[in-house]
């Protein structure tokens, strides 16, 4: 694994990151199959995973012995990846300044990264740079219903932070802008639902998950605690308890773009 002197907010949460974010066992392979079913798979096809993290999705490509390279800015996250997949080829680096040659990869994955990107333009431009002519960029994310409990809690937490005078992150905006840019640079766009599932969870898990979120962890400790206390009070008033069992529907959605040469 290549090493560079880079630090990331994810360094602090790497050890517990997957605890509340693990995908069902068959979902990573379903994502991989959906991608290869929509791209001209060759035995030599090279895959670059930007924001590989702990390998939640990349592990399926490693296990299948695809020609896979994962990049992440956080070394502790990559160590977690290696702990579960010791043969993975991983590189530490910023997605906006990749230590990789032009025109190297057939497919570039942007999984769960655009919503949190501070510089989505730099990220997609680098993805284009390392892509072969007419290669594919694949954007993926987990989606819950807009009326679902997870979405309600996210909106309420954002409103609480706004009321506290803390600018909250609006993840859909950079993602929407990046998708529009990619579509304008593509000869073809394919939208896929790679997997669907439902799972039972409790609002307490949402609170615990946000304690390990990189953007949330960057806030002052007193702000974080006050916001989560207010959210917990709202949950109790709305649902009766932080430990009420709720069922949520999930889909993993992919947008595949065949990029014009010279994008």
Residue 164 belongs to some domain of the structure: no
For position 183, which CATH number holds?
3.40.50.150
Residues 72, 262: Cα–Cα separation, whole Å: 25
Answer whether residue 5 shows pLDDT above 80: no
Question: Domain for residue 119, yes or no?
Answer: yes
195 in Cβ contact with 252 (< 8 Å): yes
Any domain includes 133: yes
* Per-residue pLDDT reduced to its tens digit, 162-221: 999 987 656 567 889 999 999 999 999 999 999 999 999 899 999 988 887 777 887 898
Of the candidates 39, 50, 40, 215, the residue with the CA atom closest to the CA atom of residue 124 = 50
Is 240 among the domain residues? Answer: no
Burial of 180 (0-12, 13-18, 19+ CB in 10 A): exposed
Asked whether the beta carbons of 78 and 58 are under 8 A apart, the reply is no
Within a 13 Å sphere around the CA of 87, how many CA atoms are in the beta-carbon half? 10
**SS3 at position 209:** helix
Residue 30 lies in a domain: yes
Rounded Cα distance, 199 and 246, in Å: 8
Among 49, 73, 173, 178, which residue's Cα sits nearest to residue 125?
178
- 15 pLDDT higher than 90: no
Average pLDDT, stretch 28-38?
Answer: 95
For residue 139, what are the domain limits?
Answer: 9-144+169-200+249-259
> Does residue 15 form part of some domain?
yes
Half-sphere exposure of 123 (CA within 13 A, CB side): 32
pLDDT score for 142:
95
| The total number of structural domains that make up the chain | 1
- Quote the CA–CA distance of 163 and 186 in Å, as a whole number: 41
Cα dist. 30→16, 60, 194, 252 in Å? 24, 9, 6, 9
Q: What is the mean pLDDT of the chain?
A: 90
Residue 155 resides in a domain: no
For residue 70, is it within any domain?
Answer: yes
Asked whether the predicted pLDDT for residue 152 surpasses 60, the reply is yes
In this prediction the pTM is 0.90
């Amino acid at each position: 694994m290549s090493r560079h002197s880079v630090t990331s907010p994810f360094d602090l949460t790497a050890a517990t990151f997957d605890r509340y974010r693990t995908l069902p066992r068959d979902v990573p392979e379903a994502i991989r199959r959906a991608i290869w079913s929509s791209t001209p798979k060759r035995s030599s096809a090279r895959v670059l995973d930007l924001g590989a993290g702990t390998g939640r999705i990349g592990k399926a490509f490693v296990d299948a012995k695809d020609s896979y390279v994962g990049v992440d800015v956080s070394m502790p996250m990559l160590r977690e990846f290696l702990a579960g997949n010791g043969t993975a080829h991983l590189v530490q680096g910023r997605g906006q300044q990749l230590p990789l040659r032009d025109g190297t990869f057939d497919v570039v994955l942007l999984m769960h990264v655009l919503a949190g990107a501070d510089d989505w333009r730099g990220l997609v431009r680098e993805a284009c740079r390392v892509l072969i002519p007419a290669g594919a960029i694949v954007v993926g994310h987990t989606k819950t219903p807009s009326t679902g409990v997870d979405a309600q809690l996210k909106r309420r937490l954002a409103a609480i932070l706004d009321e506290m005078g803390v600018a909250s992150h609006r993840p859909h905006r950079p993602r929407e802008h990046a998708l529009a840019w990619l579509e304008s640079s593509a000869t073809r766009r394919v939208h896929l639902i790679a997997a669907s599932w439902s799972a039972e969870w409790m609002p307490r898990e949402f609170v615990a998950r946000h304690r390990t979120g990189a953007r949330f962890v960057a806030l002052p400790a007193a702000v974080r605690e006050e916001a989560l206390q207010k959210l917990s009070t709202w949950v109790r008033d709305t649902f009766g308890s932080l430990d009420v069992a709720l069922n949520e529907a999930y889909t993993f959605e992919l947008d595949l773009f065949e990029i014009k040469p010279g994008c």
